[in-house]
Amino acid sequence: RVLAEELGPGWRGRVAAFAPSPFAAASLGQVHGATLPDGTALAVKIQYPGVARSIRSDVQNLLALLRLTKALPRGLFADNALRVLQQELEWECDYRREAECARTFRRLLRDDPFFVVPRVVPELSAGRVLTMELGMGIPLDRCRELRQELRDELGAQLLRLCLRELLEFRFMQTDPNWANYLYDAGKHRVTLLDFGASRSFPREFTDHYIEVVRAAADGDREKVLQKSRDLKFLTGFESKAQESAHAAAALALGEAFASPDPFDFGARSCGSRFQPLLPPLLRGRLAPPPDPAYSLHRKLAGTFLACVRLRARIRCRQLLEDAYARYRERAGAEREHPEPNGDDREHPE
């Protein structure tokens, strides 16, 4: 029914074959196999009926329940977190937007030696249907028993992509689900899937954020605090205890980037150092994080967790230095030759 409503009653004539039973589940729907008349294999994502209509009321009901039960500490700023979550869920319901995001990533990564994005099939896509060429490979959770060198490279490539998205593209697919990465051992590449949670980042945000990361990697506590104020993570009126907790959390997360030697994600975990800092962080927080930080931190945490599960050993410092040098070079060029329409890039929102 959804296919007929979205694509028209003649949709079946556009494919040579269509599998009535799904072969995979999506976050808001299910995925069916199909074949074009020329033999191209397809993945057709179909949204469950009524999903989009229910999201707003569900999020509002959840927020009301949390307020009533006081289940979350004040410093978590649940209103802001759920507002951002609602926006992202509404984006994920809009398959036209996701198709545009997929096309954007396909363009941005067209020369990448390791990552590929399947082609969107526009004649079989609409608001609740998204059809793309079928990606081949195994999800990352099945790569944990590969030999160490391959796991190291997979982890390094994931981290490299994350830095490119943040600093080069300022446009990121923020859902780190393992099923969104398919490793093709035969071609030694990873196919990227699911672009519904993609978002852009303002240059002002990335300018300050990369300096926080660099300061954390250098162990520079005072610069971490100053750049966090510039970024609006801190107001400047926090207690000494809150500043100490914030700086300690940043330095814990920057540990992977601190040394030029390979960081062994299988032997150490930032999470074990970060978890005890959560209570003082939440108790003393005076302002919510900037909106882009919610989705960015989900992606960063997911990427780090993938490296942990892969037990990867990665020269993270070198990846950061390379990304930082390219970022500063591009920022200087953009200041000398600004775009006519300002900083806004041609990314979907």
What are the residue numbers of the active site? 175
Cβ–Cβ under 8 Å, residues 295 and 345: no
On whether the CB atoms of residues 22 and 149 are closer than 8 A, the answer is no
Phi, psi of 110 (to 5 degrees): -60, -30
Dihedral pair phi/psi, residue 173, rounded to 5°: -85, 110
How far CA 245 is from CA of 40, 231, 274, in Å, comes to 54, 17, 9
Strands (E), 171-222: 171-173, 181-184, 189-192, 198-200
Phi, psi of 187, deg, nearest 5: -100, -5
Question: Tokens 């982890």 label which residue?
Answer: 155
3-state secondary structure of 113: coil
| C-alpha separations of 210 from 23, 217, 316 in Å | 40, 10, 14
Q: How many CA atoms lie within 13 A of 253 on its CB side?
A: 20
Phi, psi of 37 (to 5 degrees): -55, -25
In sequence order, the 6+-apart residues with CB closer than 8 A to the CB of 96 are 125, 126, 127
- The residue type of 344 is D
CA dist., res. 167 & res. 158, Å (int) = 14
Nearest residue to 106 via CA among 242, 3, 198, 240: 198
In angstroms, rounded to a whole number, what is the distance separating the alpha carbons of residues 15 and 42? 9
